[in-house]
Amino acid sequence: MAPQHLLVKSSPIIAKPFVKWVGGKRRVLPDLLLSLPTTFDHYYEPFVGGGALFFHLRSLNLLDDHKITLSDINLRLIRTYRAIRDDVDGVIERLEHHKKNHCRDYFYGVRDVKVDAYQNDADVAAWFIYLNKTAFNGLYRVNKKNRFNAPMGKYKNPAICDAANLRNCHTVLQTVELLHTPFDKAPIDAKKDDLVYFDPPYVPVSATSSFTSYTNEGFGYEEQERLRDVAWMLRRKGVNVMLSNSDHDLVHDLYQDFDVRQIKVGRAINCKAGSRGKVGEVIVT
Ligand SMILES: C[S@@+](CC[C@H](N)C(=O)[O-])C[C@H]1O[C@@H](n2cnc3c(N)ncnc32)[C@H](O)[C@@H]1O
């Protein structure tokens, strides 16, 4: 018989991530479920990105009656979550407008808008989702000035507005606290028996010992160490901690005092289809 916490309760709402996100956790959800504690109180996800685990747990009714805090350093992403929670009709209306007008010139016009000047979160959300669905590889990519710079993708019929899924996301986000904050601040008040799932930018699989002086998207070795310290501090308080990272010696060194489980993930590690392979990841608890 399946463990109690893996049994599905009645009438789940199936909401899927509304954006494709680098490092999305869809492929490793079964492994993450196996590492979850049997019970927990407040659920925190401080690197939420596309939120694959959050939406999955919601669809299994495993977060019913739980306090939930999702956060990320990406303000546009958090404004998008807030708009879906608070004004999903506004988001859908704007996305339908983008969908109607979608063409090459329109894409580049939207891409170059000064999105942070928008007062209304629904405008930010429609900008964010439209570009995510139509840009090359579905990538969210910005330059040093935080300007979106991925080119348009070659999709025949991009799913710009999945209204049904957005409405389901709206429903499951209703009681969720959404914070724009760095990972070390978000779970600061976590208490014994809460659960914090950390899914940071990974130590690159190609990292050599020089990684200790190299920054990967603003997340270098210092941040990896800081994250380990935060995980350690939480664990000492009796908080359940679960963390994903690459299966790299540096990660094993950082988490010597934790339980580190290796998993294999089928993931594209190279643009060429022939070079796709299994990449090692770990789940730390
Ligand atoms: C690997 S992704 C998370 C993927 C996510 N679990 C999913 O399923 O899509 C890492 C996330 O960490 C965020 N991030 C990077 N540095 C951060 C920091 N210092 N504090 C909080 N979030 C950060 C990024 O914006 C990104 O959304």
**Span from the CA of 114 to the centroid of ligand 1 (angstroms):** 23
Residue with CA nearest ligand 1 atom 25: 74
Domain finish residue from 135, 162, 189? 162
Angle, helices 104-111 vs 121-134, to 10°: value is 130
Q: What are the tens digits of pLDDT across the range 90-109?
A: 999 999 999 999 999 999 99
In angstroms, the CA 262 to CA 265 distance is 10
- The β-bridge relationship of strands 195-198 and 240-246 is parallel
> Which of 18, 56, 73 gets mutated to test ligand 1 (max ligand atoms within 8 A of its CB)?
73
Q: Which residues face 265 on adjacent strands?
A: 279
Of 150, 161, 140, give the one whose Cα is nearest residue 77.
Answer: 140
Beginning with the edge strand found earlier in the chain, give each strand of the sheet holding 43-45 in spatial order: 176-180, 68-72, 43-45, 195-198, 240-246, 277-284, 260-267
Q: What are the tens digits of pLDDT across the range 27-47?
A: 999 999 999 999 999 999 999
Task: Tell me whether residue 173 is in a domain.
Answer: no
- The CATH code of the domain that includes 186 is 3.40.50.150
List pocket residues of ligand 1, CB cut-off 6 Å. Answer: 21, 23-25, 46-47, 49-52, 72-74, 182-183, 199-201, 219
Query: What does the DSSP 8-state code read for residue 208?
Result: -
Task: Tell me whether residue 176 is in a domain.
Answer: no
Task: Tell me whether residue 96 is in a domain.
Answer: yes
Task: Tell me whether residue 167 is in a domain.
Answer: no
Q: What are the tens digits of pLDDT across the range 61-71?
A: 999 989 999 99
Phi-psi region of 239 (alpha: psi -120 to 50; beta: other; left: phi over 0): beta
Residues 185, 277, single domain; the answer is yes
Task: Tell me whether residue 175 is in a domain.
Answer: no
Residues 68, 189, single domain; the answer is yes
Task: Tell me whether residue 219 is in a domain.
Answer: yes
Residues 125, 256, single domain; the answer is no
Residues 135, 264, single domain; the answer is no
Domain finish residue from 132, 162, 192? 162
Query: What does the DSSP 8-state code read for residue 135?
Result: B
What Å distances lie between residue 116 and 15, 19, 80, 107, CA to CA? 27, 19, 12, 17
Q: Is the CB of residue 200 less than 8 Å from the CB of residue 216?
A: no
Terminus-to-terminus CA distance in the chain, angstroms? Answer: 24
Q: What is the pLDDT of residue 5?
A: 58
- The CATH code of the domain that includes 135 is 1.10.1020.10
Domain finish residue from 162, 195, 216? 162
Atom of ligand 1 nearest to the CA of 72: 22
Number of domain units in the chain: 2
**Span from the CA of 159 to the centroid of ligand 1 (angstroms):** 24
Residue with CA nearest ligand 1 atom 19: 182
Instruction: Please give the structure tokens belonging to residue 214.
Output: 């190299």
Residue with CA nearest ligand 1 atom 5: 49
Residue with CA nearest ligand 1 atom 3: 49
Q: What are phi and psi of 111, to 5 degrees?
A: -55, -35
Residue with CA nearest ligand 1 atom 27: 49
Residues 67, 203, single domain; the answer is yes
In angstroms, the CA 106 to CA 280 distance is 40
Residues 146, 265, single domain; the answer is no
Residues 61, 192, single domain; the answer is yes
In angstroms, the CA 201 to CA 194 distance is 23
Residues 67, 91, single domain; the answer is no
**Span from the CA of 47 to the centroid of ligand 1 (angstroms):** 4
Q: What are the tens digits of pLDDT across the range 249-281?
A: 999 999 999 999 999 887 554 444 444 456 799
Helix (H) or strand (E) holding 21: none
Task: Tell me whether residue 212 is in a domain.
Answer: yes
**Span from the CA of 199 to the centroid of ligand 1 (angstroms):** 6
Q: What is the pLDDT of residue 272?
A: 43
**Residue type for position 18:** F
Task: Tell me whether residue 266 is in a domain.
Answer: yes
**Boundaries of domain holding 125:** 87-162
Atom of ligand 1 nearest to the CA of 184: 20
Residues 203, 249, single domain; the answer is yes
Residues 69, 105, single domain; the answer is no
In angstroms, the CA 285 to CA 282 distance is 10
Residues 97, 41, single domain; the answer is no
Q: What are the tens digits of pLDDT across the range 173-195?
A: 999 999 999 999 999 999 999 99
Atom of ligand 1 nearest to the CA of 50: 9
**Span from the CA of 201 to the centroid of ligand 1 (angstroms):** 6
Instruction: Please give the structure tokens belonging to residue 188.
Output: 């600061």
Instruction: Please give the structure tokens belonging to residue 174.
Output: 């209703």
Q: What are the tens digits of pLDDT across the range 130-178?
A: 999 999 988 788 888 899 999 999 998 999 999 999 999 999 999 999 9
In angstroms, the CA 114 to CA 209 distance is 39
Residues 197, 139, single domain; the answer is no
**Span from the CA of 249 to the centroid of ligand 1 (angstroms):** 21
Q: Which residues face 70 on adjacent strands?
A: 45, 178
Q: What is the pLDDT of residue 269?
A: 45
